[in-house]
Amino acid sequence: MDPIAATPDGALASPAVARNTAPILEVLKAHLPGRGRVLEIAAGSGQHAVAFASALPGLDWTPSDPSPEARASIEAWAAAASLPNLGPPLALDVLDPATWPEGSMQAVVCINMIHISPWAATEGLMALAGSRLAVGGLLVLYGPYREAEVPLTASNAAFDESLKARDPAWGLRDRDEVAAAAKAGGLALTRRVQMPANNLMLLFRRTR
């Protein structure tokens, strides 16, 4: 197992986050606005939220997660970091519009969620982004995908099988099907960025 640095009391830590934070941040710096509101969906441990809010001080970063355990971890990381632009975690569930925050966002960021949730969660995410993003606002997705024109790597194929063994509703999503769901919500796929370990970042803009 990868070594994990000391964590604040009550905080969770993920070696995968430690590996992917820098590459993801590089893309975020290139495409997020200098100022505005950012909503992070399925923020998990909170390590990404702290790292991104720290590196992007002009953005008001709001993490969210439906899991009480995850929110407790986010709070622990946030308390240790004490960042003025990092808001408290929301108990947001993309399948429940009653939990969605009000107001306009300049960006929505979702890392490693859609392949470990049912397809309805992807549809809910697109509906949320389509209703809360300002026109021209950015939806950022990170994770592994299936692509018709790109052979599936052995590691991603094995990962897909392991996900489906845990829950038949899970699994790697087809990039074009995700883009079609986004289009239904008024979002257009504008950029595909190849990332380490056979992951992608997909960037969508709200067009209407």
Q: How large a percentage of the chain has pLDDT more than 90?
A: 91
Q: What is the mean pLDDT of residues 133-148?
A: 97
pLDDT of residue 15: 84
User: From the centroid of its chain, how far is CA 120?
Assistant: 16
pTM of the model: 0.94
Q: What is the mean pLDDT of residues 108-115?
A: 97
pLDDT of residue 3: 40
pLDDT at 2 over 60: no
